[in-house]
């Protein structure tokens, strides 16, 4: 951990820091509350701290506070996409979705991604770096501050592979759901993974109440390998075994995400084979008609094919939902806003330097 990144510190670490600075231990609780409950963006707001302490902290422990470079708002359903600038100039995106049951924020866990899923825009430029706990937290905090509405659900389904940033992800969850902060219920936190088997097994033992979502996207290894390079590392059998272990330890129902690509994984036979693979598991399948990206030729399954796929799964006793499309009038697929921004910057620089 970066020992100067104050927003990534748990309360015990803040207490140690106060001791190091010669301050009373109760200062730690005050600062923690300012950062994680009152969502302060600057030490100047922390009026119950002495001026000298504020000054000392300001000089040595900068507060990670993300600034929006762009906010897009859907005219259809109010969904908002935020493009945030990180302290080092990298950009990431987050999404705010408004539902009847509350506001949900989808956050990025990395700038870029190295998993290489074929249909995903986030992975095209590769991985730039993993995000710090503070940078994950502040996507939620900034959006709550900017929208002035409480965030009740958090999904780690934006750019990046959260289990490829394991330690930071865990710290993020602890601070987000802990008592001294926003105290979001762990049951309202979902982590989505492309299927890193050892990390799934490890996560099962962390005594968390979060929901695990697995990006399955195929009914067998052959088809999965075509779409997701990670399937070459871990076979579906190993992945589903890890899921069974996760279920056994946590008793938390697993979600399988399945992006439907026309003519690739959306036939009734695919549905039947998928049902056979996950039969008997406490799970739920979320069908997502693939969001086409211009770099690839994947085509979204027709509405009727999606409906048929759902009915077929249900016939085999599987719980299924079709993901409601949110914000379809703004840069749709995961990672597209960020990618468009990076491409624009590059072409402008080429304009300057390219003669």
Catalytic residues, which ones?
93, 334
The C-alpha atoms of residue 192 and residue 257 are separated, in whole angstroms, by: 9
Q: Which is nearer to ligand SAH, 120 or 204 (CB)?
A: 120
Cα 100 from Cα 252, distance rounded (Å): 23
Q: Contact at 8 Å (CB) between 45 and 28?
A: no
Query: Residue 301 CB, nearest distance to ligand SAH (Å)?
Result: 11
Q: Which is nearer to ligand SAH, 8 or 193 (CB)?
A: 193
Q: How far is the CB of 224 from ligand SAH (least distance, A)?
A: 11
Q: How far apart are the first and last CA of the chain?
A: 43
- Quote the radius of gyration of the chain (alpha carbons, Å): 21
The residues, ordered by sequence, that sit 6+ positions from 165 with a Cβ below 8 Å of its Cβ are 109, 110, 130, 131
Nearer to ligand SAH, 182 or 260 (CB): 260
Cβ closest to ligand SAH, residue 8 vs residue 110: 110
Binding site for ligand SAH (CB under 6 A): 115, 117, 119-120, 157, 161, 192-194, 215, 257, 259, 288, 290-291, 293, 333-334
- On whether the CB atoms of residues 208 and 200 are closer than 8 A, the answer is no
Shortest distance in whole angstroms from residue 142 CB to ligand SAH: 20
Between 112 and 181, CB nearer to ligand SAH: 112
């Amino acid at each position: 951990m970066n020992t100067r990144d104050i927003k990534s510190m748990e309360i015990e670490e803040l207490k140690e820091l106060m001791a190091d600075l010669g301050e009373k231990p109760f200062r730690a609780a005050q600062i923690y509350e300012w950062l994680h409950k009152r969502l302060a963006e600057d030490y100047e707001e922390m009026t119950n701290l002495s001026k000298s302490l504020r000054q000392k902290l300001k000089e040595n422990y900068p507060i990670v506070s993300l600034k929006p470079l762009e906010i897009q708002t859907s005219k259809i359903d109010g969904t908002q996409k935020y493009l945030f600038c990180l302290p080092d100039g990298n950009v990431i995106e987050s999404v705010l979705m408004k539902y009847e049951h509350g506001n949900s924020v989808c956050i990025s866990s990395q700038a870029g991604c190295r998993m290489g899923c074929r249909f995903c825009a986030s992975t095209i430029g590769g991985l730039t770096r993993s995000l710090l706990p503070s940078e994950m937290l502040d996507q939620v905090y900034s959006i709550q501050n900017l929208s002035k509405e409480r965030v009740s659900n958090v999904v780690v389904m934006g750019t990046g592979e959260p289990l490829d940033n394991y330690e930071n992800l865990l710290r993020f969850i602890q601070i987000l759901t802990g008592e001294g902060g926003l105290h979001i219920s762990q049951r309202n936190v979902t982590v989505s993974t492309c299927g890193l088997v050892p990390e799934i097994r490890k996560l099962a033992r962390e005594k968390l109440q979060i929901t695990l979502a697995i990006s399955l996207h195929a009914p067998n290894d052959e088809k999965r390998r075509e779409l997701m390079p990670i399937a070459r590392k871990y076979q579906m059998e190993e992945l589903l075994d890890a899921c069974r272990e996760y279920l056994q330890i946590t008793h938390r129902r697993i979600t399988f995400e399945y992006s439907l690509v026309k003519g690739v994984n959306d036939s009734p036979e695919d549905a039947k084979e998928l049902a056979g693979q996950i039969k008997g598991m406490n799970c739920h399948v979320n069908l997502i008609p693939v969001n086409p990206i211009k770099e690839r030729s994947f085509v979204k399954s027709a509405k009727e094919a999606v409906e048929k796929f759902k009915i077929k799964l249900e016939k085999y006793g599987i719980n299924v939902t079709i993901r409601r499309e949110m914000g379809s009038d703004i840069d749709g697929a995961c990672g597209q806003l960020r990618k468009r921004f990076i491409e624009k910057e590059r072409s402008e620089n080429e304009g300057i330097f390219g003669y």
